[in-house]
Structure 1
């Protein structure tokens, strides 16, 4: 969801011509991109945290053996990735329908093959190895470890580092494309 929201915001600005407004503001592309990333991620993180605590733990009475704050930290890292790749896709797409198609090409396989619906062990070895490049795979791994088995930071830190590294890569790619999108909007 964060992926499509971040990309949609960028495409909408391009379609409505508000990209010119962004260009005259005393903000760097990094500041503009980070505002879009954190605005989307913060809303989703707060809603997820409240749902996990109030609905799952209190209303349904399901015990959560792991640390909710640790899980939320990992979820925020994953949301950072999702919004960064959403911005990246938004810099590629020229319209909302194109963004929707790109979303389906990227997000659906990434989430279906993450290990959540289909265990990595049941996939061909080459595909299971390739899916290690997907933050969704690491998110599923650390979410299950924290929430189901009560794992601590000492167990899940490699997944956190992987998600943060891939998110930073896509933020960098987004910033490069964002700069060119701002330049193209000025022309």
Structure 2
């Protein structure tokens, strides 16, 4: 892959800092040759698109059949929209859980199922600490490891991410889980 371009962020913008660290962690893990899986993002987009289609259908129906005649359709579409927004909220809070990468490690022989790696991060509001969690699922066994680092350890005074300093931390965490896999 191409070399990581230095990322400069406003170091007081917590979201920008977290996203920059997430992107760097994603790049470091994907460089191991894993294949990214977009199922979580795609499922979120499907839920949002379906809700949007209900809203657009209600708008079109109300345009073609003004309000008193379109009352039942509007109630159904608005109810469906809010139901799907509830499903989206549950999906984001309980299924995604701050996961920003799901990657599959293919079995070289092709006889075993894929090993699934997922990366998630947390950074509390007004906190200087960033927590990265790597979870690996292989043969229905799940292992995870995490580290918490001060963002000052991986950003310089100008807000530039020090990728050469951050990448070894990620790879060390990855390798600590990878060494825990059962070798045959």
What is the TM-score of this pair, normalised by structure 2? 0.28
What is the TM-score of this pair, normalised by structure 1? 0.28
Larger helix percent: 1
Higher relative contact order (CA 8 A, sep 6+): 1
Larger strand percent: 2
Structure with max Cα Rg: 2
